[in-house]
Amino acid sequence: MTEGSSDRGWHTGGELSAFRKGCYASANLGVGALDYIVAIFLLKYYTSYTGLDAAWAGVALLIGKAFDAISDPVMGAISDRTRSRWGRRRPWFMAGSLPLALSFVGIFSANPEWSQMQLFAWLVATNILFWAGNTMVEVPHAAYGSEMTSTHEQRISLMGWRQGFVMLGLLLGGLIAFSYLERSIDAATARAAAEGLSADVVAEVLRTVRGEAHGTLSIWLALCVVAVTAISFFGTRERRGPYTPPRDRFFEDFGDTLRSRSFRLFTLAFIVGQIADGLTATLALYAIEEWWGLGGAHPKFLLIGYMAMAALTIPLWIRVGVYFEKSRMLAGGTFIGFAGLIGMLLVPQIGTWWAYLCFYFAGAGLGVRSLMAMAIVPDIIDEDELNTHTRKDGAYFGMLSLLRKLSRALAIGFSGIGLGLCGYVSGATQQEPGAVRGIVVMFCVVPILFSAGAGVLFLLFPITRARHERTLAELKRRHEES
């Protein structure tokens, strides 16, 4: 064994204090807020405010995120091998908050007077930088959490804090964004009414005001990201102790992840589920406004309520998860989302109240999925260490992040390209029936099929609680003999 850094030593299984869990999880407040705004508002910002063609916007987002995804496993492997006075993981997620914040400001600072090619290039460049910064924060941060404890209950609890803060960040990001945009639009509407402007002029003024408000909002949120990441950095310590080193070469690490049958099955289900989630997230505003015809405050309350249900139910899922297999809980959360999407198909026939019920029900499913997916990965890493005599938390979480981003990139790219193929017209006040049908298929029908497939695959996951406890016992014996 060599000397490395570990918060409590992953093999100790010691209980972590609520203060330590809260400090660790705080970085996810900022990441969650930015991720939500990018997922919900970015495509709409470029198609409705800057005037970038929907298909070009989809291609730009697909290129940017796919390019960045390559950095995820590399970042994980680098953090596995980092040695510093601050530990292996913490320096990276603190440093990554800076490009993340700067690129977030840049991505919402496009000039609508630019040409289509200029807008396309700007979106690609800022999107690449945004996701590169996101990688520097998220991958080492997730790997650090995997090392902090090893027991079934504590891993669910720690990842519950982490994902709870992610959901809280998503919730706050959405609430702040919707509220600020509404205030900006209300103020502009009042000024336009006082000046007696025509309806066409008012519509153009409101479009411009809404676009410019994104830029102001992004500055404040960028500062918050750096602040909460600093809390995570200064509020935790990576304690030095024995650890199992990774392999000598990067590609050997990645080869191990792909040779793990448990990881292959998990990631297949994970990818399918992420594509479903990505389609619904990207097209949520389009579905609410263009398909259901709900304007005013409805988009805000539907989307904020969705995230609120995800965040508020996580404490419940933490308690329930103590008594059930993680894979069963994950499959159950996937089927909850599946049922919510089926219900959404009936919103035009039943009414607005049904839309709220389906969105909030689906939000509860998101809570358990996000928690259990993160809690399962450390168990896979433990089994890999048992089989390979090497440990590579960063490589595994890097590969998972790569696959998640590629899945979301496909969802975002297909959303933009699909809108273009279905005849969606950027900035139009009324869309043609073909465009609306395309939104229905991409927002509901395809995610329903993908969610069903992901749920079945999660039920086949082989690592049970009893099997994991045997793995931990063998690893403990091996460490004691070393």
For the residues 232-256, what does the mean pLDDT come to? 74
For the residues 49-61, what does the mean pLDDT come to? 84
Least confident piece of the model among 200-209, 289-298, 376-385? 200-209
**Helices and strands in the chain, H and E counts:** 18, 2
* pLDDT reported for residue 458: 95
Element (H, E) at 228: helix 199-234
- The CA distance from 123 to 27, in Å, is 25
Least confident piece of the model among 163-167, 289-293, 334-338, 444-448? 163-167
> Where exactly are the structural domains of the chain?
16-481
Q: Under a CB-based contact definition with an 8 Å cutoff, are residues 86 and 19 in contact?
A: no
Provide the CATH number for the domain formed by 16-481 in this structure.
Answer: 1.20.1250.20
Q: Under a CB-based contact definition with an 8 Å cutoff, are residues 396 and 257 in contact?
A: yes
* pLDDT reported for residue 369: 92
Q: What is the mean pLDDT of the chain?
A: 85
* pLDDT reported for residue 203: 66
Q: Is the pLDDT of residue 52 over 60?
A: yes
Nearest to 329 by CA among 375, 369, 377: 369
pLDDT tier for residue 121 given thresholds of 50, 70 and 90: very high
- The CA distance from 100 to 129, in Å, is 7
* pLDDT reported for residue 14: 59
E strand segments, 311-432: none
pLDDT tier for residue 12 given thresholds of 50, 70 and 90: very low
Q: Is the pLDDT of residue 200 over 80?
A: no
- The CA distance from 246 to 228, in Å, is 30
For the residues 474-478, what does the mean pLDDT come to? 86
Q: What is the pTM of this model?
A: 0.76
- Could you write out the DSSP letters of every residue in 33-101? HHHHHHHHHHHHIIIIII---HHHHHHHHHHHHHHHHTHHHHHHHHHHH---TT-SSHHHHHHHHHHHH
pLDDT tier for residue 8 given thresholds of 50, 70 and 90: very low
Give first-to-last CA distance, the chain, whole Å.
7
- The CA distance from 358 to 198, in Å, is 38
Least confident piece of the model among 378-382, 432-436, 459-463? 432-436
Q: Is 325 left (phi over 0), alpha (psi -120 to 50) or beta?
A: beta
* pLDDT reported for residue 2: 35
Q: What is the pLDDT of residues 261-283, one digit of tens each?
A: 999 999 999 999 999 998 998 89
Q: Which two tokens stand for residue 223?
A: 């500062």
